[in-house]
């Protein structure tokens, strides 16, 4: 099962970019973030024409997550548990069955948190605490599960080209990194770092100041695997080259392959 997570930065603004990527890369499952579309206005047809089932959790103009799968999508839930008053569309999860195993797929768009300190940063940390609770439940189920998406977390200095530029940013503050580590240390495998070590690997390059051409990037798109999913992993990589194509997102896909 080839799974990609991709913050597309607007499905309507980048529909041709995303469809071209799907035609070329052909993931079994695509977990999309920042679709910036309500459920009823999401352009389902071109995805369905390509053989994908579509489930979304969206809102107008902001946020929004989606699951595309060539296989049936079952047991769909929307919204991260723990705060019934939270109206931001940042979490969708569902079950997809491969040739051998069933996998629980959680697609997330974690809050940015800037400016920090402030209410937006408080919301980020509270959201991460809720994520930790959900992560514990996924581990307790002892099934293959993947929590993937735009985490808006730079885990370590080696995950950004210029660490000094991010010292006071919500993506790299000590409390952010500590919250991320608490989740990983529950027993998850951070898929990319399990396969690739060292600096210079990024999943986001800003549109400004020639960041892509200078490789001034950060790694903020992650896949966390339960032990049962990690046992099935055969590959994980970042598809960096598509950042240089026409009308790109500022993020690129991150891939994991499971023998499922």
pLDDT of amino acid 15: 97
Looking at the predicted structure, is the pLDDT value of residue 131 above 90?
yes
* Domain 2-258 class, CATH top level: alpha beta
Considering the candidates 150, 159, 169, 221, report the single residue annotated as catalytic: 150
Over residues 164-182, the pLDDT tens digits come to 999 999 999 999 999 999 9
Is 7 annotated to bind a ligand? Reply is: yes
Is the pLDDT assigned to residue 209 strictly greater than 90? no
Query: Is 28 assigned a ligand-binding role in the annotation?
Result: no
| Burial class for 102, CB neighbours closer than 10 Å (0-12, 13-18, 19+) | middle
CA distance 213 to 9: 20
- 109 among known catalytic residues: yes
Of 52, 121, 222, 251, the active-site residue reads 251
**pLDDT tens across 40-55, in order?**
999 999 999 999 999 9
Position 5 pLDDT exceeds 90: yes
Mean pLDDT value of segment 147-151 = 99
- Whether the ω angle into residue 117 lies within 30 degrees of 0, i.e. cis, is yes
63 is in an annotated binding site: no
Whether 185 has a binding-site annotation, put simply, is no
Instruction: Select which of 109, 121, 151, 202 is catalytic.
Output: 109
Task: State yes or no: is 251 an active-site residue.
Answer: yes
Domain boundaries in the chain?
2-258
Mean pLDDT of 92-108: 98
What does the alpha-carbon distance between residue 114 and residue 121 come to, in Å, rounded to a whole number? 6
Decide: residue 200, CB within 10 A, 0-12 exposed, 13-18 middle, 19+ buried. exposed
% of the chain exceeding 70 in pLDDT: 100
| pTM value surpassing 0.85 | yes
Cα separation values, 77 from 83, 90, 112, Å: 14, 12, 23
Whole-number percent of the chain with pLDDT over 90: 100
- The residues near 203 (Cβ < 8 Å, ≥ 6 apart) are 217, 218, 219, 220, 221, 238, 240, 251, 252, 254
Mean pLDDT of 234-258: 97
Distances (CA, A) of 110 to 162, 181, 245: 22, 15, 26
Give me the pLDDT at residue 32, please.
Answer: 98
Q: What is the DSSP letter of 255?
A: E
> Does residue 229 sit in helix, strand or coil?
helix
pLDDT, average across residues 196-200 = 97
Average pLDDT, the chain: 98
Mean pLDDT of 216-224: 98
pLDDT of residue 94 exceeding 90: yes
The answer to the question of whether 53 is labelled as a binding residue is no
Q: What torsion do the CA atoms of 12, 104, 148, 184 make, to the nearest 10 degrees?
A: 160
pLDDT at 33 over 90: yes
């Amino acid at each position: 099962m080839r799974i990609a997570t991709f913050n597309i930065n607007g499905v309507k603004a980048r529909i041709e970019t995303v469809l071209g990527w799907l035609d070329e890369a052909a993931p079994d499952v695509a977990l999309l973030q920042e679709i910036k579309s309500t459920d009823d206005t999401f352009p389902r047809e071109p995805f369905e024409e390509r053989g994908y089932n579509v489930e979304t959790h969206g809102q107008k103009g902001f946020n929004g997550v989606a699951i595309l799968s060539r296989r049936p999508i079952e047991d769909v839930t929307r919204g991260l548990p723990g705060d019934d008053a939270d109206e931001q569309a940042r979490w969708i999860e569902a079950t997809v069955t491969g040739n051998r195993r069933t996998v629980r797929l959680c697609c997330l768009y974690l809050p940015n948190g800037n400016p920090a300190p402030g209410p937006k940063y408080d919301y980020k940390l509270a959201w991460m605490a809720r994520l930790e609770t959900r992560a514990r439940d996924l581990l307790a189920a002892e099934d293959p599960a993947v929590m993937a998406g735009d985490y808006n977390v730079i885990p370590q200095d080696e995950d950004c080209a210029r660490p000094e530029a991010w010292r006071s940013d919500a993506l790299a503050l000590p409390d952010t990194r500590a919250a991320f580590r608490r989740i990983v240390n529950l027993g998850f495998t951070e898929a990319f770092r399990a396969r690739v070590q060292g600096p210079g690997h990024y999943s986001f390059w800003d549109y400004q100041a020639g960041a892509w051409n200078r490789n001034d990037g950060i790694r903020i798109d992650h896949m966390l695997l339960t032990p049962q999913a990690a046992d099935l992993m055969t590959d994980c990589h970042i598809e960096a080259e598509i950042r240089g194509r026409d009308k790109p997102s500022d993020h690129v896909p991150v891939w994991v392959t499971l023998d499922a």
